Chain A
Amino acid sequence: GNSVTQMEGPVTLSEEAFLTINCTYTATGYPSLFWYVQYPGEGLQLLLKATKADDKGSNKGFEATYRKETTSFHLEKGSVQVSDSAVYFCALTPSSGTYKYIFGTGTRLKVLA
């Protein structure tokens, strides 16, 4: 079946540190991949997405590349800020019936000034 596995948190970094949050997936066919972010007290927001192999999604300094050979979609940012503190969710939609998101368990990021 389809599943998403992401690294457990919490991840605590100092401001301006490099961030990587690992995400791997299991899916049949060619899923679309997403990163959502949930800031404290707010709903999930789409951060970035990639719909085919080797695509790179990017937004707000965050990047993730769709790697089919390693079934991964790791989230990276070169220099984190305190305002990036949030919970990050990796998700996929299967290649067919694309409405059903499969989410990872979320990774909490805390950035210290």
Chain B
Amino acid sequence: GAGVSQSPSNKVTEKGKDVELRCDPISGHTALYWYRQRLGQGLEFLIYFQGNSAPDKSGLPSDRFSAERTGESVSTLTIQRTQQEDSAVYLCASSLASDTQYFGPGTRLTVL
């Protein structure tokens, strides 16, 4: 596609529910990244994919967070048993190898 797309754009959920956030990277981009942006804070790195493998998961804040990528394309970030502190904007980016990262518009997650 023309750019990185993410869905849903907004998600409101109740504490304790699971959520799935989707990212469609730019076609042909081998690298994919997830970041979290809490209100008033900078972006926090969560996880990096090269192809379908994730050599760096160091930013995932807890074992409630997981991500997968299939077909060297779509990626899904899953948050289990959501907590209020998970409320944030989740951003996805993609790139060719280690080149400039291109960001999607983000998914705003609100946990009530």
Contact = CB atoms under 8 A, between A and B. Distances in A.
Contacts of A46: 100-102
Nearest to B49: A99
Nearest to A5: B42
B98 to A, nearest CB: 4
Contacts of A89: 42-43
Interface stretch (A12-20, A37-45, A68-76, A77-85): A37-45
A100 B45 contact: yes
B104 interface: yes
A104 interface: yes
Contacts of B33: 99, 101
B98 A43 contact: no
Interface size class of A (residues with CB under 8 A): 20 to 34
Nearest to B3: A43
Interface string A70-113: 00000000000000000001010100011111111110000000
Interface size class of B (residues with CB under 8 A): 20 to 34
B106 interface: yes
A43 B31 contact: no
A106 B42 contact: yes
B91 interface: yes
A29 B42 CA distance: 23
Contacts of B40: 105
A43 B106 contact: yes
Interface in B67-112: 91, 93, 95, 98, 100-106
Interface of A: 4, 34, 36, 41-46, 49, 89, 91, 93, 97-106
Given A42-B105, A44-B91, A46-B101, 19 more contacts: A34-B100, A43-B3, A43-B103, A43-B106, A44-B93, A49-B100, A97-B56, A98-B98, A99-B48, A99-B50, A99-B56, A100-B45, A100-B48, A101-B33, A101-B35, A101-B101, A103-B42, A103-B43, A105-B41
18 contacts: A41-B105, A42-B105, A43-B103, A43-B106, A44-B91, A44-B93, A93-B98, A99-B31, A99-B48, A99-B56, A100-B45, A101-B35, A101-B45, A101-B101, A102-B45, A103-B42, A103-B43, A104-B42
